[in-house]
Chains A and B, each alone.
Chain A
Amino acid sequence: MSVLYLVVPVALLLVGVALAAFAWAVRRGQFDDLTTPAMRALQDDSEQKPRPR
């Protein structure tokens, strides 16, 4: 069972990485508005940019 002494710390390290990623996403404001991005995803024509006038 001595492998546990290696595997558990590695797993916890991964948890730390995931948490850091989550905190980064939250601070970037990715969880501020959960409605609009869903609507944006339905508009698949990102190639169409308005012509400057």
Chain B
Amino acid sequence: MRTAEPLLAPPRVACAHCGLTVPEGLVEEDNPQQFCCSGCRAVWDLIHASGLERYYDLPERREAPVRPSGSAFSEFDHEAFQALYVTRGSGGLSQTELYLEGVHCASCVWLVERVPLAIPGVAFAELDVTRSLVRLGWDPARTTLAAIARYLDALGYRAHPHRGLRTEQLRRAEDRRMLVQIGVAGALAGNVMLVALALYAGWFSGMDAGTSRYFRWVSLALTAPSLLGPGRVFFRGAWVSLRARTLHMDVPVALALGAGFLRGAVNTLRDAGPVYFDGVAALVFLLLVGRFLQHRAQRAATSSAELLLSMAPSSARVREDAGAAPREVPTEAVLPGMLLEVRAGETVAADGVIEQGRTSLDLSLLSGESRPVEAGPGDRVYAATVNRTGTLLIRVDATGEASRLGRLLKEVEAGARRRAPMVKLADRLTAGFVGVVLLLAVLTWAYWTRVNPSHALDNAIALLIVTCPCALALATPLAITVAVGRAAKAGILIKSGEALEALARPGVMFLDKTGTVTEGRTVLAEWVGPEWIKPLVLALEAHSPHPLAAGFRDAWPAVPVPDASGVHSTGGGGVEGSVSGHRVALGSPAFVGARLDRVAPPLPTSGDLTPVWIMVDGRLAARAGFGDPVRAEAPSVLANLRARGMRLRLLSGDAPSVVAAVGARTGFGPADCRGGVSPEEKLAAVEAAVRHEPVVMVGDGVNDAAAIARATVGVALRGGAEASLAAADVYLEAGLAGLLPLVCGAERTLRVIRRNIAFSLLYNVAGATLAVTGIINPLIAAIMMPLSSLTVVLASWRSRTFEGGSA
């Protein structure tokens, strides 16, 4: 498996599994198969041992090194987990769906659907590539879910429980129901049109009265089920809207459908005058298709955002007592009174008190505070904080809804409930539209009763049908469907189409600071001191688990690290020891200040930085400042948004001095920055503003979630807390950089909607004129109606709303 490269370059060795170049140190001279990492070797062995070598003949394979997580997945077999996510199917089979990381092409389908079958007891594995979900069925007597998950993990697909399984099943049932209704409406409409074609042909070339009557009865028999079955939703929608005393698009639709059908039925019975069945049946079908498309596009965005929730940690380590070995249980099974072990880098799963261990905690998702907080025995910790340095033992005292996180989530729900429904542009126009059409219909009828009474009712109904806002009702859903689909390709997941309309209007936009405008991690931002001190600092920090130590190492990867001796650190204060014959201490100004030979002059530090002083041989030799850097794209993105007329406000839970400094760097006036804001105050700020104008809230933390839920449009960013993700209307995979395309795309979408609406109104005016003057006949009406819809469909499809999509 070697490919020779031209001279000079050493021969490139391709990994037998993933095809990437094998690093030189890993090349084994005599081995016919070379691997770039142990993960790839394991998969290669697994595939060959299962007799599935054909994998390597697939034209398209995954070209990425395999990185198994090595987790035991034992929580997957816990009763609490099984009760939540596993269903018992027919024949004693257990079934579940797992969300897999790293699934993306045809070769993944091949591997994921075949390799698990090698485990005795696995009945089937079916992958849904678009949503990265694998449906598994197995015999619980012969194998376990954890074993299957370990197998998939070894292939490089890390498994997570699918948290939204129940809602997903409900939605799937709804989707299927809608699809069947569309099928019924489509088949009926098609056949009614065939019959109508015969009738129109007979109208021109002559048809005997018996046949004509027969065809009219046939089309009545076909239209009635279409209207009473699939078409019922429009009448229900119109009824609901009338009872709520608002005019929804369903009202004029139901009016046209009802009037057309009733008049057609009466005309069939008395065997005279036009029937409108073809128009009515086609309308039901077209409008249902429009609805289904919009529903599906938004659903796709919602479920991809919800699947991200599945990535949240699913297990916690519980110990019987401080000495016992930990065992993994699902987070749902953690109860008050239990002793939890939380290792460095893990997220705390429940509220509690530290019994053992010291660490620094990252509270940024919970409170917005960017600086790590030191904690030790006796201190309280909360779910959703990240343990950064040491291993902790925590006595749990509140879980789930009772935890601080749970209470915040209740606020989120309450915020979402209080949110007023957005009034859609099309619905706003409907109100005037219905009034004008009804007035015109009455006038037409009144005029024709004087001139030619036998045609009065038919002309009035022709008006109702021809002005039916078929195109109007399609205009918005289609434009939004296309926009939501294109946005998803660009990494912008839009859960509700109404959000697009609200985003296009300039209003006030609140931004969270930590993790939104800034990167949400602490780095070395300032260094004042000579070069030769850097190795001394690294030598000392090599012995410190403190997060700032990692900050120094990340900042100077190329600086050599000498040995240090006699190092000891004071919890939270600093570290001291001797390096290369120098006495060195570094840490907080108080810690270092106490070790100086003479009192140091007060040094200025930038407001948003955590100062670290460095003492060498009794003198203050250098100082460093740590902070959360502003995202590189932030200044330009924010400046562009301001130029578009958005008024921006910074709202953060971090210290006011830090917020002011970051605000100053990103172009906020001092009055527009607020620091030290609690989640409840954020909610209150949004609530106060939303009474006057549309409010956009952009954030990433749990502390933003309630405000995101309450705002007119809530936007969540990548890497944020699940709570904010669940509450938001829009999720930006690209982070803050996606904000500008979102706003521009929303503006363009609204322009397309306006254009569509303008066109359908124009069309309706023309149709109404013909109807009022009595020129129109059923054939012209039947041709004009689909023509206008078609124009709107094409105009929406060709519109370039979000960049990144093709078309």
Contacts and interface: CB of A to CB of B under 8 A. Distances in A.
Contact of A15 (B110, B179, B187): B187
Contacts of A19: 183-184, 187
A51 B49 CA distance: 8
A51 B118 contact: yes
Most chain A CB neighbours (cut-off 10 Å) among B49, B109, B210: B109
Contacts of A45: 54
Contacts of B183: 19, 22-23, 26
A48 B54 contact: yes
Interface string A18-53: 110011001101011101100110110100111111
Interface stretch (B125-133, B499-507, B794-802): B125-133
Nearest to B118: A50
Interface string B109-130: 1100111011110000011111
B130 A8 contact: no
A31 B176 contact: yes
A1 B106 contact: no
A36 B129 contact: yes
Interface residues of B, number: 39
B129 A39 contact: yes
Interface in B332-366: none
A43 B109 contact: yes
B176 A53 contact: no
B556 interface: no
A43 B106 CA distance: 8
B7 interface: no
A1 to B, nearest CB: 5
Interface string B324-335: 000000000000
A42 B208 CA distance: 56
Contacts of B59: 42
B69 interface: no
Contacts of A29: 172, 176
Contact of B52 (A33, A48, A52): A48
A48 to B, nearest CB: 5
A50 B117 contact: yes
Contacts of B129: 33, 35-36, 39
Given A1-B208, A19-B183, A31-B179, A8 B54 contact: no
Contacts, number: 85
Contacts of B118: 50-53
A8 B128 CA distance: 42
A43 B127 CA distance: 14
Nearest to B46: A53
Contacts of A31: 176, 179
B218 interface: yes
A39 B187 CA distance: 30
A5 to B, nearest CB: 7
Q: How large is the interface on A (under 10, 10 to 19, 20 to 34, 35 or more residues)?
A: 20 to 34
A27 B176 contact: yes
A34 B128 CA distance: 9
Given A50-B52, A50-B114, A52-B120, A36 B109 contact: yes
B306 interface: no
Given A36-B129, A50-B50, A26 B179 contact: yes
Contacts of A11: 191
A31 B178 CA distance: 12
B214 interface: yes
B670 interface: no
Nearest to B178: A26
Nearest to B108: A39
A18 B483 CA distance: 34
A33 to B, nearest CB: 5
B51 interface: yes
Contact of A36 (B115, B117, B127): B127
A42 B179 CA distance: 27
Nearest to A15: B187
A1 B206 CA distance: 13
Given A32-B172, A52-B118, A18 B51 contact: no
B180 interface: yes
Contacts of B374: none
A53 B218 CA distance: 63
Contact of A42 (B49, B106, B184): B106
Given A27-B176, A51-B50, A4 B211 contact: yes
B172 A39 contact: no
A12 B131 CA distance: 39
B175 interface: yes
B212 to A, nearest CB: 10
Nearest to B128: A33
A36 to B, nearest CB: 5
B176 A36 contact: no
A18 B187 contact: yes
A49 B117 contact: yes
B58 interface: yes
Contacts of A33: 128-131
Contacts of B130: 33, 35-36
A40 to B, nearest CB: 6
Interface in B648-691: none
B97 to A, nearest CB: 12
B180 A39 contact: no
A8 B131 CA distance: 44
B117 A5 contact: no
A42 to B, nearest CB: 6
Contacts of B208: 1
Contacts of A49: 114, 117
Given A15-B191, A43-B58, A50 B115 contact: yes
B176 A51 contact: no
Interface of A: 1, 4-5, 8, 11-12, 15, 18-19, 22-23, 26-27, 29, 31-33, 35-36, 39-40, 42-43, 45, 48-53
The 8 closest A-B pairs by CB, nearest first: A50-B118, A39-B106, A50-B50, A51-B51, A33-B128, A22-B183, A36-B129, A35-B130
30 contacts: A1-B210, A1-B211, A4-B214, A11-B191, A12-B218, A12-B222, A15-B187, A15-B191, A19-B184, A22-B180, A23-B184, A27-B180, A32-B128, A32-B175, A33-B129, A33-B130, A35-B128, A35-B129, A36-B109, A36-B129, A39-B105, A39-B129, A40-B113, A43-B106, A43-B110, A49-B114, A51-B50, A51-B51, A52-B120, A53-B118
Given A4-B211, A26-B180, A50-B114, 12 more contacts: A4-B214, A5-B214, A31-B179, A32-B175, A33-B130, A35-B128, A36-B127, A36-B130, A40-B109, A43-B110, A53-B49, A53-B118
